[in-house]
Amino acid sequence: MKAFLAVVFAPALLHAADDSEVVLAKCRERILARAEHLPNYTCNETVDRFYYIRAKPGASDQPCSQIRAEKLNLAVTDRLRLEVKVSEGEEIGSWPGASQFDSRSIFDLIGGGAFGTGSLGTLLVDVFGNKGASITFQEEQDNLFVYRFAVPLNSSHYMIQAWGNWRPVPFDGTAWIDPGTSDIRRIQFHTGELPLETQACFGTTEVEYDSVQTRPSDFLAPKHSTLRFLLRDGTQNETSTAYSQCREYQVESTLRFDDGPAAAAIPNADQPALSLPAGMEIPLVFDAPVDSRTAAAGDVIRTRTRKAVLNPQSGQVLIPTGATVEARITGMRQGIQSPGYVLIAISLERFQTGGVWSPIFATLAKKDQIENTRRMISLRGANVLLPSGQRPNTAILLFPASKNGQVVPRGFQINWVTTMPSAQ
């Protein structure tokens, strides 16, 4: 029976091997052509990150060769929502609905943590457009051709950041190509051992792709990616990214992927944007709850003033009662280990009066800082991981975990004090 099966399948394997060179050549040609003529396009990204710790304490900073698989427990999660634009092969980002893409690096924008770029195009070029890469056909699997590849250090553009410095690392992996279309459907990357200063041993990336139709052609966009790092202390970080609404970006377009009002509100010429003096208290109330099961850094929170904000010198009403004030979540993190907690970083962005949006610069009022400290004390014993890279005037709020997820209820009151714009 074994001999019979070998005889039956051998011609099919030989045929696949013969076709594999043709499919690989067409795939490489399509990837390079798309990279050369890739349209400026944007994708909406929802990023869930998971931080695992060892179930049993053990020695830390071990040689990578001595780290063995063991049980890990989920300790912390966080979530981001971003708009990412690909322009001339480079990825830049912003929070959803922002009036423009942020001038900072996307890594600075998200405030630290495991994150990767390249899934929107450059990773594929570093394999299929790299003269130093070796690619060999392996097998046919589920109607896809499977290839192995390897890129040595001196040819690699796979970069890892450590202490602010970017270092190239060698990598290898597997690619699944549709022989009918010669398009990548899935690709996996495995790094070599990472530099000691990264505090990690190895990294793996897996990306699933699909074609997106544009005029006059199409481009290859990711559907989902997973990035994992095994750290030298035996813990693991995992980043899961879902991509949606990938589309060509027109310079004259206003980008909005959420259901809110247009971000770039143009003030009436007769009603210029207001500038608030420093030291004014702004009492706010939340229009809707913040649900830790769905909220993400990047989401806009809509609040309203509980009472009018007056100019302390003239008594003039600068912001009336009930005026809309928008805040942005810039960090959304949950501690899973008991006692569980939810950490929310928030900064105010703008307020509306008379149909005109004006920027607002403010910090959390002293009495609310004290209340926040009380909540921290009530969570004594929690291993709180504070977000890094937050801008000034960001309030870091801590709450006990809630079973129904609504850690900040509708009607939650919070007070801010205006600062000078330079403080932002």
CATH number at residue 47: 2.50.20
Residue 219, pLDDT above cutoff 90:
no
Please tell me the distance from the alpha carbon of residue 246 to that of residue 91, in angstroms, as a whole number: 13
Looking at 317-370, which runs of residues are DSSP E strands? 317-319, 324-335, 341-353, 356-359, 362-364
What residue numbers bound the domain in which 129 lies? 2-248
- Do residues 360 and 349 touch, judged by C-beta distance below 8 A? yes
The CATH code of the domain that includes 364 is 2.40.128
Q: Please give the span between the terminal C-alpha atoms of the chain, in angstroms, as a whole number.
A: 75
Is residue 267 domain-resident?
Answer: no
- Do residues 144 and 179 touch, judged by C-beta distance below 8 A? yes
Residue 23, pLDDT above cutoff 70:
yes
Does 286 lie in the same domain as 216? Answer: no
Q: What is the mean pLDDT of the chain?
A: 82
Please tell me the distance from the alpha carbon of residue 294 to that of residue 81, in angstroms, as a whole number: 11
What is the structure's pLDDT at 18? 58
- Do residues 211 and 218 touch, judged by C-beta distance below 8 A? yes
Enclosing H/E stretch for 338: none
Does 203 lie in the same domain as 347? Answer: no
The size of the chain, in residues, is 424
Confidence of residue 2 (pLDDT cuts 50, 70, 90): very low
Closest CA to 174 of 130, 206, 142: 206
Does 218 lie in the same domain as 288? Answer: no
Does 325 lie in the same domain as 235? Answer: no
State phi, psi for 370 to the nearest 5 degrees: -65, -45
Is residue 254 domain-resident?
Answer: no
Structure tokens at 349: 């962005």
pLDDT in tens, 371-390: 888 887 777 766 676 666 56
Please tell me the distance from the alpha carbon of residue 339 to that of residue 74, in angstroms, as a whole number: 14
Does 216 lie in the same domain as 118? Answer: yes
What is the structure's pLDDT at 88? 64
What is the structure's pLDDT at 264? 38
Give the count of domains, the chain. Answer: 2
Residue at token pair 């698989």: 69
